[in-house]
Amino acid sequence: MSLFKKNFLTLSLAAVIFSLLLVVIVFFINSPVLLIIFLILYLIAVLFAIYNYSNSLSVSFGRLVRIVQKGSSLLPASEEVDLSSMEFKNMERAMRAITLEVSRRFENAKSESSRLEAILNGMSEAVFAMDHSLKLHIVNPKARELFNLGNRDVKKMNLLEATRSTELVETAKKVISGGAPLEFELAFRTGKEQFFQVYASPLAKTNDSDNGSSQGSGAVLVLQEITRLVKLERIRKDFVANVSHELRTPIQLIKGFSETLLDSVKDEQDIHFIEIIRKSAGTMENLTNDLLILADLENADNNTRDMEEVKIISLINESVSSMEPRAKEKQIEIIVKCQEDLKANLYSSLILQALINLIDNGIKYSQPKSKLWISASLENNTLLFEVRDKGIGIPAEHLGKIFERFYRVDRARSRDTQSAQAGGTGLGLSIVRHIALLHKGNTEVESHAGEGSIFRIRIPNQNHRHH
């Protein structure tokens, strides 16, 4: 019971009791002195009760005024409460000030909401915002157009009802439960094929007071259409593959006839020119072969290869044997380090190609009579291949682009090495990177100019094991 009610009931009860006593004295006791004394006590009791009640009322209103005055401090100086006024006047002014502040903030919120709505309406990406149960709060016009929602009330729908996409639903659930953003490509085939880059991000987390845990309060999905980019990428891949395939026959003819001419021509100058033709044809042949390999690696949908369990030491030894003639030309010693019983499920022919490319790269940019190390090991359930050389190294500013196709650190760098005369394609490291990606792995490089380089291939969780 509140203090006001207690004081009021106490005052009322005292008044009733004293009134009953007064009636008893008047009708049953004929004593003027006693009546006067009783009236005096009655008056004192009433005055005390009234004082106590008004004092508690004043204290409570004073506390309320102080609370309201603190809230009014957010207002400009012209709207501050006059502390010298009476309590009720202060409270009235403070309440008016608080009302003005709430009204101002409400108008600001409306303005921000209108600005946000204008931004969402002008976006070319589809946007969905939802709570932790995937019930939709915000759907912009592009999303309505994409999923044919029209003027339907989206606030009564969840994400699955609006999009009919289990992939988007699973993504939203992962983002809300995990608290980390996600990004991936998604294809929709409703009448026509469309591709989207999906960005999913969690909203702020809220504490669950029932079990003491916290959960995401929702998620935001942004779908950016990339259909045109995907189709252009397909055209590029098909063009490269087709051109490379069509060039193979004439290049082989040029190379074959130039070799035939070398056997029949006696003039030194003619031999020199024909030798240039033969070497250039060889370079073009290597380029077309590498382009075809890249096109095949990029076309993951048509990948019909099967992984097989292989001994890693066998792959390494085979790659070293393939590059041994090149190493002997520069008197480079290749040192192998790998446990004999290490096995893994891999696309063996592709890993062999990657190792050959890395060894070839190490030989190409190493000084004569130097050493090259190749190793394989198991680290935290990840298969690690490493090729290390003591060559000319790579400047730090180029390390981030070294695995891009046709990227060369320095045109002069190739001319500074003997084996570069044979004609590198600039695609070897790009092929290595794509082979690693096909195994769901990655490539790394560590290098300093003049100190050599270390190239690594990491392949995770491929059932690696020792016998």
Question: How far are the Cα atoms of 143, 184, 463 from residue 125, in angstroms, in the given order?
Answer: 8, 15, 41
Number of H helices, E strands in the chain: 12, 15
Q: Which pTM was predicted? A: 0.54
Amino acid at 193: E
Q: Are 430 and 404 in contact (CB under 8 A)?
A: yes
How does DSSP classify residue 135?
A: B
The count of residues in the chain is 467
Structure tokens at 459: 């392949």
In terms of Cα–Cα distance, which of 169, 177, 179, 178 is closest to 221?
A: 169
In terms of Cα–Cα distance, which of 333, 360, 330, 339 is closest to 455?
A: 360
Q: Are 387 and 374 in contact (CB under 8 A)?
A: yes
pLDDT along the chain (467 residues), means of 10: 56 67 65 70 72 70 63 51 53 73 83 80 85 88 85 85 88 87 81 83 64 63 86 78 78 84 82 85 79 72 69 91 90 90 87 90 88 90 90 81 72 42 67 87 86 89 57
Query: How far, in Å, CA of 428 to CA of 355, rounded?
Result: 10
How does DSSP classify residue 408?
A: -
CA neighbours closer than 13 Å in the CB half-sphere of residue 260: 6
In terms of Cα–Cα distance, which of 449, 459, 463, 375 is closest to 416?
A: 449
Domains and CATH numbers, the chain: 1-121 (no CATH), 123-205+215-225 (3.30.450.20), 231-302 (1.10.287.130), 308-466 (3.30.565.10)
* The predicted structure's pLDDT at residue 388: 92
Match 């935001």 to its residue by tokens: 220
The string of DSSP codes covering 247-307 is HHHHHHHHHHHHHHHHHH---HHHHHHHHHHHHHHHHHHHHHHHHHHHHHHH-GGG-----
Question: How far are the Cα atoms of 296, 299, 306, 342, 434 from residue 438, in angstroms, in the given order?
Answer: 11, 10, 12, 21, 6
Residue-wise burial string across 149-162, b where 16 or more C-beta atoms lie within 10 A, e elsewhere = beeeebeebbbeeb
How does DSSP classify residue 24?
A: H
Query: How far, in Å, CA of 383 to CA of 440, rounded?
Result: 12
- The maximal CA–CA distance of the chain, rounded, in angstroms, is 163
Query: How far, in Å, CA of 202 to CA of 181, rounded?
Result: 6
